[in-house]
Structure 1
Amino acid sequence: MSKANWKTRAVTAAVMTGLMGFSAHANDEEKQQKHEMKQGKAVGEAAAKRVQYVGKLAVFNNRQIKLARLAEQQATDPQVKQFATRLREDHENSQSQLRTWAQAQKLQISALSDSNVTSEDQTGTGGSGVQQGYQEKMKGTGEKLGKAIDQSNEEITKLQEKEGPEFDKAFLTRIAEDQKKGKEVLKEGRKEYKNDATFLALLSDTERVVSGNETQAKELEKQMKKK
């Protein structure tokens, strides 16, 4: 082997080694990018799931407030009227706490004002993976909550058509059932967000109130049946 050929092969080997090293480095970067994208998507999906959950709670609170206001105007039994006022105040307080928490978390939830969940402020989260995961998870959320609001409004309209003791009984039955469903939603949240102390405290407080209102609604319902 000539000295020139030896040098040529040595240079070629060095270049190939360098290219192989670059390729390995590129593969590592690609793997890292995929890993970061996957992590980002998970963060985005978790954020969307939280927004969906808070939106569900907001719709629940709005429904109870509307029902309570109707009963304050239309109920004939003084005890039912009094209960309706407390129910409204409880859920207005819950809604206020939920709104305050959401604003602190930079969640923009228009369901808090009886509309649809639309978006979340992504400031500081960064990464296309986060946005992609969030947007994919949020697909159809607005429509779903919109349907829940429409259904709620239809039920309230039907209840509004009742009068006297018939209205009182129907209202109490409706509230007892709603509060029971609300407890299940809150239990779901306490399990899902048990590591978030602030949010967990909010959910726990709301659940205690909802449980108490369910009990009172059932007791008043029994009294109304005896009349």
Structure 2
Amino acid sequence: MGKMNWKASAVTAAVVTGLMGFAAHADEGESKQDKEQMKQGKAVGEAAAKRVQYVGKLAVFNNRQIKMARLAEQQATDPQVKEFATKLREDHEKSQDSLRTWAEQKKMQVSALSDSDITSEEQTGTGGSGVQEGYQEKMKGTGEKLGKAIDKTNEEMTRLQAKQGPEFDKAFLTRIAEDQKKGKDILKEGRKEYKNDAGFLALLSDTESVVASNETQAKELEKQLKK
């Protein structure tokens, strides 16, 4: 599970919906209207990039839980831990499927939704005056940041895989309880930012309920194993 050169890669994003309608004006003597269109276009591009970044972060979180759960399904010794791992995997696979369906409907492509380890070279958003500029500026460093998160997951997977028996079970539950807490923070961030998007908000709220439930279950199982 070696590290990748994330500086040469980024979350793939091709955002089409809502980015058209801004005509380009290249004349040296820009009018006040031209400047306003450029400003509005940049704002649209930045907003699109911010949404792509958020979806990518949530997708990486889902992939992390799926990978951890698969490892526990194979390596856990306690039957209850194995059963919990299966539930965790299924929950996050469902969450990822819902996120993928939503992104497809919005004409948004995010590589983390289709591949948990490899991201592609960054692509710009499409649109007219100012949109691409705003999008590109906002997306700078996104791939590297998410890539580092994937590297961290791979490193933790390697350490966890080296444990055996009850030691593995306890370490897995501790890791998942902490992850679910972080996941709730990510989802709360999204619910606050996109509170006016009913469809996306419903998706985030459903996922948040599942994450909270899994956090509680992981902590309860962890206590049982310590007895």
Q: Residue 193 of structure 2 corresponds to which residue in structure 1?
A: 192
Q: Residue 152 of structure 2 corresponds to which residue in structure 1?
A: 151
TM-score computed with the length of structure 1 as normaliser? 0.84
Q: Which amino acid is the alignment partner of residue 196 of structure 1?
A: D
Report how far residue 128 of structure 1 moved.
3.0
Q: 1:153 to 1:213 in 2, by over 3 A?
A: same
TM-score computed with the length of structure 2 as normaliser? 0.84
For 1:167 and 1:60, how far apart are their aligned partners in 2?
21
For 2:74 and 2:125, how far apart are their aligned partners in 1?
42
**Matched residue of 2:130: which SS?**
helix
Q: 1:212 to 1:117 in 2, by over 3 A?
A: farther
Q: Is the 8 A contact 2:125 2:135 kept in 1?
A: no
Aligned residues: 199
Q: Which amino acid is the alignment partner of residue 119 of structure 2?
A: N
Report how far residue 200 of structure 1 moved.
0.3
Q: Residue 77 of structure 1 corresponds to which residue in structure 2?
A: 78
Q: Residue 119 of structure 2 corresponds to which residue in structure 1?
A: 116
Report how far residue 108 of structure 1 moved.
1.1
| 1:179-213: CA deviation from partner (whole Å, max 9, x where unpaired) | 00000000000000000001000000000000000
Q: Is the 8 A contact 1:116 1:145 kept in 2?
A: no
1:66 equivalent to 2:98? Answer no
Q: Is the 8 A contact 1:108 1:121 kept in 2?
A: no
Report how far residue 70 of structure 1 moved.
0.2
Aligned counterparts, 1:98-109, within 5 A: 98-109=99-110
Q: Which amino acid is the alignment partner of residue 135 of structure 2?
A: Y
Q: Is the 8 A contact 1:37 1:129 kept in 2?
A: yes
For 1:213 and 1:195, how far apart are their aligned partners in 2?
27
Q: Is the 8 A contact 1:172 1:220 kept in 2?
A: yes
For 2:179 and 2:211, how far apart are their aligned partners in 1?
9
Aligned counterparts, 1:1-227, within 5 A: 30-112=31-113, 113-114=115-116, 115-116=118-119, 119=122, 122=125, 126-226=127-227
Q: Percent sequence identity over matched residues?
A: 79
Q: CA RMSD in A?
A: 1.8
Larger helix proportion of the pair: 1
Q: Is the 8 A contact 1:117 1:141 kept in 2?
A: no
For 1:96 and 1:118, how far apart are their aligned partners in 2?
23
Q: Which amino acid is the alignment partner of residue 81 of structure 1?
A: K
For 2:188 and 2:42, how far apart are their aligned partners in 1?
26
**Matched residue of 1:107: which SS?**
coil
| 1:146-192: CA deviation from partner (whole Å, max 9, x where unpaired) | 11101111001100000000000000000000000000000000000
Which is further off, 139-148 or 165-174? Answer: 139-148
Structure 1, unaligned runs of 5 or more: 1-25
Computing the radius of gyration from Cα coordinates, the structure with the larger value is 1
Report how far residue 116 of structure 1 moved.
2.8
Report how far residue 118 of structure 1 moved.
5.0
For 2:213 and 2:105, how far apart are their aligned partners in 1?
28
Larger RCO (CA within 8 A; separation ≥ 6): 2
